[in-house]
Amino acid sequence: MKIVHAASEMFPYVKTGGLADVCGSLFKSLAGVGHEVSFFLPGYRKIIESKEFESAKLKVVLQVELGEQFLRGEVWALTLGRRQTLYIIRRDEFFDRTNLYGTRERDYDDNDRRFIYFSKAVVQAMRLLEIKADILHCHDWQTGLLPLFLRMAEQETGKSLALKTFFSIHNLAFQGLYPRSSFKFTNLPKEFNGIDGLEFYEQISMIKGGIFFADKIMTVSPNYAREILTPEFGCGLEGALKVREEDLVGIANGIDTEVWNPQKDPYLINHYNASDLSGKQDCQETLLKKVGLAKGEGPVYGVVARLTQQKGIDLLLKQMSFFVKNDCRLVLLGKGDPNYEKALKRFAKSYPEHIAVCIVLDEEMSHLVEAGSDFFIMPSIFEPCGLNQMYSQRYGTLPLVSGVGGLKDTVIDIVSDPENGTGFVFEANNDGLAAGLEASLELYGNEKDFVHAIKRAMKRDFSWKRVTTEYESLYLDSI
């Protein structure tokens, strides 16, 4: 098949979260099994200044209609490997910036114009480059309007650009909501600015465009696909999703098992596998030394997360006494809400022998936390899929997770299924996390059962090969 993907980020070029990891892995994996795959990204400063961009070739020049203006743009192409092409939409006014979406304090004021422009540019580029795709697959609100723009362009030109369109919701909480006045930048007929179109409580919702106008809607886990049909997790869009329920499919993400591999991870001081765990102890010693902690009687717990309410940081803050009382070690890596950062740093200052907090997002350090911890904590309030719980199992670090979204799909609870369990699944509340911590402490005290659980976790298959087969089937069935 000829498959086109479009998203606002992709690893290893630009990344703020799991969206980039998923897009990068799916892109590479689909090409690896024989499909011709193209990927469209905005021309962010980080990409344009990268060494890779030196070999990019200018393919076409665009004139994109945005409200009352026609704005120039460029499409640059990078051949990444056999059957893999990365197309970069360049307009420096919109994308030559330090950050992708805004500063830590606020989003960029023109994000509506930036990503409406990007989506229109992708459609125009596909037309000018004559990319006749079988599948156009768009990701999250930044490309929510792309399926609609594509169909409108097909009507105007009489030429097919893609047989079917897919739209993936990686996190429904981020919806691309803008003032209703932003609708003028779409240049769509006014009937699309109603309840059956983009209108959402006197605003426009870019994610709603994807929900209503793509042929198939994807989410990143089966459980999350069920959750978002309910008021609790639907973020106000459960009604719109109910209308498209027959076209809604959840496939749990995989992980890049080349990047996340304890047997050859370049970030680790020593390597290990399920048959020989000795290297994991070396990694733990390195981790503790790096953050200034000494090993205690209890286990080492790791956290790598954006410090937001969604990630359950409030729940974690209420359990800090657990680590002190049981002589455990907590190593936390992340950044986000300044209030959470301050609160966590206060605990680290009060209990310097038990708690280490690193307010940074660092790829090397995140690998070390995964390898050097005994348990990994993810007390998310909601979690479309999550990746760290899969990284953790691959690294023999048993995850403690809330029973929500993809966490529930990918972790087998040891308490309810001790023969097959690979982690701890608890209710997303204070009592739930407290019970999960106590259960993990009990397992740690039984070395035989603890090691068996580690080995079971490390043998699970979270590869993209499995996931890609499911995507292939869906694509083929749709065309």
| pLDDT for the residue numbered 424 | 98
Kindly compute the dihedral angle of the four CA atoms of residues 80, 82, 83, 85, in this order, to the nearest 10 degrees.
Answer: 10
Tell me the C-alpha distance between 221 and 55, whole Å: 37
Tell me the C-alpha distance between 60 and 71, whole Å: 14
Tell me the C-alpha distance between 385 and 409, whole Å: 8
Strands of 177-179's sheet, edge to edge? 177-179, 203-205, 199-200
Mean pLDDT of the chain: 96
pLDDT exceeds 80 at position 321: yes
Share of the chain above pLDDT 70, in %: 100
CB proximity list for 220: less than 8 A, separation 6 or greater:
22, 168, 169, 170, 250, 251, 252, 253, 384, 385, 406
pTM: 0.90
Answer for the pair 126, 161: CB distance below 8 angstroms, yes or no.
yes
pLDDT exceeds 90 at position 81: no
| pLDDT for the residue numbered 17 | 81
Question: Binning pLDDT at 50, 70 and 90, where does residue 105 land?
Answer: confident
Q: Could you tell me which residue, 17 or 442, shows the higher pLDDT?
A: 442
Question: Binning pLDDT at 50, 70 and 90, where does residue 147 land?
Answer: very high
Phi (first) and psi of residue 434, to 5 degrees: -60, -45
pLDDT exceeds 80 at position 89: yes
**CATH architecture of structural domain 278-458:** 3-Layer(aba) Sandwich (3.40)
pLDDT exceeds 90 at position 6: yes
| pLDDT for the residue numbered 21 | 87
The first and second tokens of residue 31, run together, are: 């090409």
Give the pLDDT mean for 380-389.
95
For 237-241, 270-274, 358-362, 426-430, which range has the lowest pLDDT when averaged over its residues? 358-362
| pLDDT for the residue numbered 460 | 96
The first and second tokens of residue 189, run together, are: 């007929």
* Digit-coded pLDDT (tens) for 113-135: 999 999 999 999 999 999 999 99
Residues of the chain with CATH 3.40.50.2000: 2-254+464-478, 278-458
| pLDDT for the residue numbered 18 | 82
Peptide bond preceding 418 in cis form (omega within 30 of 0): no
* Digit-coded pLDDT (tens) for 458-468: 999 999 988 99
| pLDDT for the residue numbered 402 | 98
pLDDT exceeds 80 at position 440: yes
Answer for the pair 166, 30: CB distance below 8 angstroms, yes or no.
no
The first and second tokens of residue 212, run together, are: 């209503």
Question: Binning pLDDT at 50, 70 and 90, where does residue 195 land?
Answer: very high
Share of the chain above pLDDT 90, in %: 95
pLDDT exceeds 90 at position 104: no
How far is CA 162 from its chain centroid? 25
Helix-then-strand count for the chain, H and E: 18, 18
Give the pLDDT mean for 236-242.
97
Answer for the pair 272, 262: CB distance below 8 angstroms, yes or no.
yes
* Digit-coded pLDDT (tens) for 413-423: 999 999 999 99
Tell me the C-alpha distance between 280 and 318, whole Å: 29
* Digit-coded pLDDT (tens) for 149-183: 999 999 999 999 999 999 999 999 999 999 999 99
Q: How is residue 121 annotated by DSSP?
A: H
**CATH architecture of structural domain 2-254+464-478:** 3-Layer(aba) Sandwich (3.40)
Please check if 15 is assigned to a binding site: yes
